[in-house]
């Protein structure tokens, strides 16, 4: 009695099954190709499980359950001499087999590919197989159960998504920490010894519970529950469900009392005096307690002044981690998943440490924190880069002079490569990527400075408060209440970004006329070239050629691989190779790889590092 | 004559609603039994209980000689069933359906199935989704008869068919029943159909049996009389208004006593049962 049903299922779904298996096979090949850049072919196993295992489970549940009950053909099965439990069991096991067989074949292929590249010991293989099997069974059991809920299946899936969001935001338990997803975590392909025993057991128990729930639902009240659930939603139900979801979404929006993360704390450091924003500077070699305390006070004072200027209620805890090992011009901000605050790192105490730049960087990060990172979105990012610089330099004539010079150099570089300033401000992240931090910050400062001069104290203050003074809500309402930059500028009486850029360009040209001799020319042409090594593997060669007889100064090559969706590239994430002559980068690149390359060299006139020839391109 | 099945005080509930409220029936082997009732009276529930799709909450069922609380697979194999709206797999044609259904029945007669399809004029190569309602019902009948069942249960098999298709289906059902002598229990709310096919009928109302017997007996039991007052004579049951039910012998006595009783059509009798003012306790 089992065989006819199995045959019927396979025959009914064979077209879709074959199509899905082909998709899985193509997906696996793509994953295996991508895994060459991810350290191990075993990475493809994780992708196969999470992407294609999940998709296949959903498709199978839809075919084996939703279609059967939705089409009421289970009534036909029930009239045959066969038990209802038998029908469900056969369906569950057949669809599980349809999921496991291609996954097992995929796993086998991955092992064959991986055998020549990583060491495959039996324990590691077993571990991978066990994690995959338990995960797949869980996903299958979940999809099967949800499929049985008929017209409420979308509601359940949405409820699961909502649960994930709530767990992430309110309970600090992101879904990737849930036992089933722990089994296929990013570390899975590299965990050769440690078995996630607890996650395996919990996921297994969850699977068993789902199977029990499946049979209870399918057999309860002689199968009438599941038949009732399979009926289409009435208009009234649709209205109720929609209203319920809108209500839940609205409640989630309104619930602001999310569990606050603990403030970041430095174990060993000095703290700014009370009455000022809390700034801690960690103790580090080469930075005396007095110097650290002085830096903390200057930063705290600056933050307090900005707070009063912008009418900000609350500032985050700021922690400074001096780090002599990084470039003196490089400032870093930490990503804090489990605590709250702004943690910045810089070469405090180093010879060429730019404290003014560091303070501006820190203020910028504080403002970004206050805006819940909305200030760093591209349309308004130039204002976030420029405003802190403007604050720091407003009482420092030497700084302003230097920044004016840098901004003139920035405009010169832009005009030689991209044309006007208007597109540069509209596509600020690209502009900044091409100019580098030094010239990018200077140009942003100049635009802010121009705004403050042309608007006057009061209106500029109004604009700054509109931009940075209000802390948006941490939910969808922030999207709804956010005003475009042009609108904010116009509210303050300023021209729109396009008109502002034209006027600024004229102003910089006028200033530059008097100091043309001070703006350093960049008489070098930068060239990157992909040269095939073997097959489709390329090496990248770099060269800086002088226009005249003067040899180029020592330079650094910055490069990194980029994905199609990569946004801002930070200096910290780029590789660096120092060079004094043409050479080859110490890495190989497959055909079609997207890369970012640039050359950086120090300019004594501008007292910072300039970036030349920056671009993203495809190796071929 | 031995019984094909006996239902005694069978109760079935859908939540708080009693679909069957003490239903009792006796269907004899070899007879054609018409089960009449309005929509929602409990006809489909009764058939589903007999098929083992549902289980009773109370009462007893004796089916094909065995007393059962749930219908085992071995008994199910001896029963053919045609549902109201056959939910065949739309992608299967009659031949594939026969192959699929036949594999569940040790007694499946493939040659007989093909003969039935030819006789009932069901195309073998067209998918079920492409068949008309009447042809689907005939296909259901062929599938139900091919295992040579001892009992054939038909749940309003002609509901939704046009009069011509209904007549064709019924004619062929009569031929096949006579050919085999299979017990046929069919539900319907069409009085003419029941009158034409059934040896005996049962009328169900609100989950209870209100009448069981031959069509002739039913005709003789229910009549319209004009009473001078509201008092109901002893041995009579008022079905509705001036329509009363009584043993045929009582009607004869009443006639000889001067009470003018008008005979009714089967349609009117069924309507009187269906619209009964109040059910007897």
Higher pLDDT, A389 or B252: A389
* B61 falls within a domain: no
Same domain, B36 and B141: yes
Higher pLDDT, A93 or A164: A93
Angle (CA) A119-A121-A125 rounded to 5° is 105
Q: With contact defined as beta carbons under 8 Å apart, do B251 and B237 qualify?
A: no
Per-residue model confidence (pLDDT) at position B101? 94
Same domain, B235 and B267: yes
Higher pLDDT, A521 or A350: A350
Asked if the C-beta of A76 comes within 8 angstroms of chain B's C-beta atoms, the answer is: yes
Per-residue model confidence (pLDDT) at position A147? 93
Question: Measured between alpha carbons, how far apart are the two ends of chain A, in Å?
Answer: 60
Average pLDDT of the segment spanning A13-31: 93
Same domain, B191 and B135: yes
What's the CA gap between B133 and B164, in Å, rounded?
12
Same domain, B226 and B262: yes
Same domain, B170 and B259: no
Q: With contact defined as beta carbons under 8 Å apart, do A422 and A497 qualify?
A: yes
What's the CA gap between A80 and A199, in Å, rounded?
41
Per-residue model confidence (pLDDT) at position A341? 92
* B59 falls within a domain: no
* B279 falls within a domain: no
What's the CA gap between B55 and B53, in Å, rounded?
7
* Axis-axis angle for helices A378-393, A355-370 (nearest 10): 130
The ipTM estimated for the assembled molecules is: 0.83
Same domain, B176 and B86: yes
Residues 8-27 of A with CB under 8 A from B: 8, 12
Per-residue model confidence (pLDDT) at position A175? 82
Q: What is the CATH number of the domain that holds B45?
A: 3.40.50.300
Q: What does the block give as tokens for B122?
A: 């069901």
Q: With CA atoms as reference, report the closest residue to B80 among B131, B23, B155.
A: B155
Q: With CA atoms as reference, report the closest residue to A465 among A367, A364, A342.
A: A367
Residue A366 clears pLDDT 90, i.e. is over it:
yes
Same domain, B205 and B232: no
Grade residue B26 by pLDDT with cuts at 50, 70 and 90. very high
Average pLDDT of the segment spanning A407-428: 84
Other CB atoms within a 10 A radius of the CB of residue A453 amount to: 10
Among A49-53, A338-342, A528-532, B176-180, the least confident range: B176-180
φ, ψ of residue A550 to 5 degrees: the values are -70, 125
Residue A348 clears pLDDT 60, i.e. is over it:
yes
- Residue-range domain boundaries for chain A: 2-254, 263-370, 385-519, 524-618
Residue A173 clears pLDDT 90, i.e. is over it:
no
Residue A93: CB partners within 8 Å, gap ≥ 6? none
What's the CA gap between A564 and A292, in Å, rounded?
42
Residue A158 clears pLDDT 90, i.e. is over it:
no
Cβ contacts below 8 Å, chain A against chain B, sum to: 49
Q: Where in the sequence is the domain holding B225, given as residue range(s)?
A: 214-274
Same domain, B75 and B93: yes
**Contact state of B14 with A75 under an 8 Å Cβ cutoff:** no
Identify the CATH number of the domain defined by range A524-618: 2.60.40.10
φ, ψ of residue A150 to 5 degrees: the values are 55, -120
Mean pLDDT, chain A, as a whole number?
Answer: 88
Looking at B209, B225, B258, which one is the last position of a domain?
B209
- Which residue among A73, A83, A222 sits closest to B55, beta carbon to beta carbon? A222
Asked if the C-beta of A78 comes within 8 angstroms of chain B's C-beta atoms, the answer is: yes
Find chain B residues with C-beta within 8 A of A8's C-beta: 89, 100
Same domain, B205 and B264: no
Q: With CA atoms as reference, report the closest residue to B66 among B81, B54, B56, B78.
A: B78
**Contact state of B101 with A71 under an 8 Å Cβ cutoff:** no
Residue that is written with structure tokens 């100091």 in the block: A515
Looking at B209, B225, B248, which one is the last position of a domain?
B209
Tell me: the pLDDT tens digits for A229-274? Answer: 888 888 888 898 888 888 877 777 666 556 677 888 888 888 887 7
Tell me: the pLDDT tens digits for A72-93? Answer: 888 888 889 888 899 999 999 9
Among A136-140, A433-437, B127-131, B244-248, the least confident range: B244-248
What's the CA gap between A475 and A616, in Å, rounded?
33
Count of the separate structural domains present in chain B: 2
Q: With contact defined as beta carbons under 8 Å apart, do A348 and A281 qualify?
A: yes
| Beta bridge mates, B23 | B10
Same domain, B114 and B249: no
Three-state DSSP state, A320: strand
* B65 falls within a domain: no
Instruction: Report the largest interatomic distance among the alpha carbons of chain B, rounded to a whole angstrom.
Output: 67
Grade residue B278 by pLDDT with cuts at 50, 70 and 90. low
User: Which residue in chain B has the smallest CA separation from A1?
Assistant: B104
Residue A126: CB partners within 8 Å, gap ≥ 6? none
Return the percentage of chain B with pLDDT > 90, whole number. 35
Other CB atoms within a 10 A radius of the CB of residue A592 amount to: 10
User: Mutation test of the interface with chain B: which of A79, A87, A90, A91, choosing the one with the most B Cβ atoms within 10 A?
Assistant: A79
**Contact state of A73 with B87 under an 8 Å Cβ cutoff:** yes
Return the percentage of chain A with pLDDT > 70, whole number. 96
Question: What element of type H or E holds A30?
Answer: helix A2-35
* B42 falls within a domain: yes
| Beta bridge mates, A333 | A344
Sheet holding B222-225, edge to edge: B236-240, B243-246, B222-225, B261-263
* B239 falls within a domain: yes
Q: What does the block give as tokens for B198?
A: 């059934």
Same domain, B174 and B219: no
**Contact state of B91 with A12 under an 8 Å Cβ cutoff:** yes
**Contact state of A224 with B14 under an 8 Å Cβ cutoff:** yes
Per-residue model confidence (pLDDT) at position A531? 92
* B196 falls within a domain: yes
* B105 falls within a domain: yes
What's the CA gap between A405 and A515, in Å, rounded?
8
Q: What does the block give as tokens for A316?
A: 């985050």
Looking at B191, B209, B227, which one is the last position of a domain?
B209
Higher pLDDT, A330 or A385: A385
SS in 3 state form for chain B?
Answer: CCEEEEEEEEEEEECCEEEEEEEEEEEECCCEEEEEECCCCCHHHHHHHHHCCCCCCEEEEEECCEEECCCCHHHHCCEEEECCCCCCCCCCEHHHHHHHHHCCCCCCCHHHHHHHHHHCCCCCCCEHHHCCHHHHHHHHHHHHHCCCCCEEEEECCCCCCCHHHHHHHHHHHHHHHHHHCCEEEEEECCHHHHHHHCCEEEEEECCEEEEEEEHHHHHHHEEEECCCCCCCCCCEEEEECCEEEECHHHHHHHHHCCCCEEECCHHHHHHHHHCCCCCCC
Tell me: the pLDDT tens digits for A506-548? Answer: 888 887 766 666 666 667 889 999 999 877 789 999 999 877 7
């Amino acid at each position: 009695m089992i065989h006819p049903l199995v045959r019927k299922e396979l025959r009914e779904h064979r077209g879709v099954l074959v199509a899905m298996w082909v998709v899985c096979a193509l997906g696996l090949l793509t994953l295996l190709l991508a895994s060459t850049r991810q350290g191990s072919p075993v990475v493809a196993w994780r992708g196969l499980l999470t992407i294609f295992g999940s998709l296949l489970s959903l498709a199978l549940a839809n075919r084996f359950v939703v279609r059967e009950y939705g089409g009421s053909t289970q009534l036909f099965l029930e009239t045959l001499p066969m038990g209802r439990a038998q029908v469900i069991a056969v369906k569950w096991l057949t669809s599980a087999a349809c999921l496991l067989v291609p996954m097992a074949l995929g796993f086998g292929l991955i092992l064959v590919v991986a055998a020549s590249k990583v060491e495959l010991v039996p324990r590691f293989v077993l571990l991978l197989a066990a994690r995959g099997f338990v995960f797949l069974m869980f996903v299958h059991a979940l999809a099967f159960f949800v499929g049985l809920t008929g017209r409420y299946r979308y509601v359940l899936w949405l409820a699961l998504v909502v649960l994930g969001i709530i767990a992430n935001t309110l309970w600090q338990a992101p879904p990737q920490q849930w036992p089933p997803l722990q089994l296929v975590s990013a570390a899975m392909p590299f965990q050769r010894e440690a078995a996630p025993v607890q996650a395996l057991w919990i996921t297994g128990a969850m699977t068993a519970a789902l199977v029990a729930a499946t049979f209870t639902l399918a057999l309860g009240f002689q199968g009438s529950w599941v038949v009732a659930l399979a009926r289409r939603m009435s208009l009234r139900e649709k209205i109720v469900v929609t209203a319920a979801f809108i209500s839940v979404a609205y409640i989630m929006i309104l619930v602001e009392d999310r569990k606050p993360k603990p403030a970041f704390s430095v174990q060993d450091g000095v703290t700014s005096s009370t009455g000022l924003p809390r700034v801690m500077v960690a103790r580090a070699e080469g930075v005396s307690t007095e110097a650290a305390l002085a830096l903390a006070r200057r930063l705290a004072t600056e933050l307090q002044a900005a707070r009063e200027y912008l009418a900000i209620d609350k500032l985050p805890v700021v922690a400074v981690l001096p780090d002599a090992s990084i470039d003196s011009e490089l400032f870093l901000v930490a990503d804090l998943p489990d605590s709250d605050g702004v943690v910045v790192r810089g070469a405090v105490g180093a010879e060429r440490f730019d404290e003014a730049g560091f303070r501006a960087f820190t203020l910028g990060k504080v403002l970004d924190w206050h805006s819940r990172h909305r200030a760093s979105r591209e349309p308004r990012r130039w204002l976030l880069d420029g405003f802190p610089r403007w604050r720091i330099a407003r009482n420092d004539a030497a700084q302003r002079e230097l920044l004016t010079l840098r901004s003139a150099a920035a405009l010169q570089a832009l005009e030689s490569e991209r044309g006007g300033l208007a597109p540069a401000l509209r596509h600020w992240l690209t502009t900044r990527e091409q100019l580098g931090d030094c010239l990018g910050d200077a140009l942003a400062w100049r635009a802010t400075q121009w705004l403050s001069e042309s608007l006057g104290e009061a209106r500029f203050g109004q604009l700054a408060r509109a931009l940075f003074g209000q802390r948006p809500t941490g939910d969808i309402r922030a999207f709804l209440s956010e005003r475009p930059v042009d609108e904010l500028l116009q509210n303050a009486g300023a021209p729109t970004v396009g008109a502002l850029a034209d006027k600024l360009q004229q102003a910089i040209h006028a200033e530059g006329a008097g100091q043309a001799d001070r703006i350093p020319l960049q008489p070098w042409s930068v060239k990157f070239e992909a040269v095939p090594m073997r097959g489709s593997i390329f090496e990248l060669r770099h060269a800086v050629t002088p226009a005249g007889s003067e040899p180029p100064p020592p330079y650094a090559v910055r490069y990194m691989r980029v994905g199609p969706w990569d946004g801002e590239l930070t200096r910290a994430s780029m590789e660096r190779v120092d060079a004094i002559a043409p050479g080859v980068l110490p890495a190989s690149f497959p055909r079609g790889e997207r890369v970012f390359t640039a050359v950086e060299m120090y300019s004594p006139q501008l007292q910072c590092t300039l970036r030349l020839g920056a671009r993203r391109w495809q190796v071929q | 004559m031995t019984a094909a099945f006996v239902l005694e005080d069978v109760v079935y509930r859908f939540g708080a609603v009693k679909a069957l409220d003490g239903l009792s029936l006796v269907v004899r082997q070899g007879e054609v039994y018409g089960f009449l009732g309005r929509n929602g009276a409990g006809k489909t529930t009764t058939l589903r209980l007999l098929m083992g799709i549902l289980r009773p909450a109370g009462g007893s069922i004796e089916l094909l000689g065995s007393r059962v609380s749930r219908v085992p697979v071995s008994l199910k194999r001896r029963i053919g069933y045609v549902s109201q709206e056959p939910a065949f797999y739309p992608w299967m044609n009659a031949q594939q359906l026969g192959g699929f259904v036949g594999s569940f029945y040790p007694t499946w007669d493939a040659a007989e199935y093909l003969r039935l399809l030819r006789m009932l004029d069901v195309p073998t190569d067209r998918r079920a989704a492409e068949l008309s309602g009447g042809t689907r019902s005939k296909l259901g009948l062929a599938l139900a008869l091919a295992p040579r069942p001892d009992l054939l249960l038909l749940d309003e098999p002609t509901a939704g068919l046009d009069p011509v298709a209904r007549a064709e289906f019924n004619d062929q059902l009569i031929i096949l029943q006579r050919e085999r002598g299979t017990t046929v229990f069919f539900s319907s709310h069409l009085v003419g159909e029941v009158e034409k096919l059934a040896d005996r009928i049962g009328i169900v109302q609100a989950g209870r049996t209100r009448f069981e017997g031959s069509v002739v007996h039913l005709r003789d039991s229910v009549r319209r009389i004009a009473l001078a007052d509201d008092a109901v004579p002893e041995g009579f049951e008022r079905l509705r208004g001036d329509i009363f039910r009584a043993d045929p012998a009582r009607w004869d006595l009443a006639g000889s006593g001067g009470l003018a009783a008008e005979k009714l059509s089967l349609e009117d009798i069924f309507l009187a049962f269906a619209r009964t003012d109040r059910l007897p306790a």
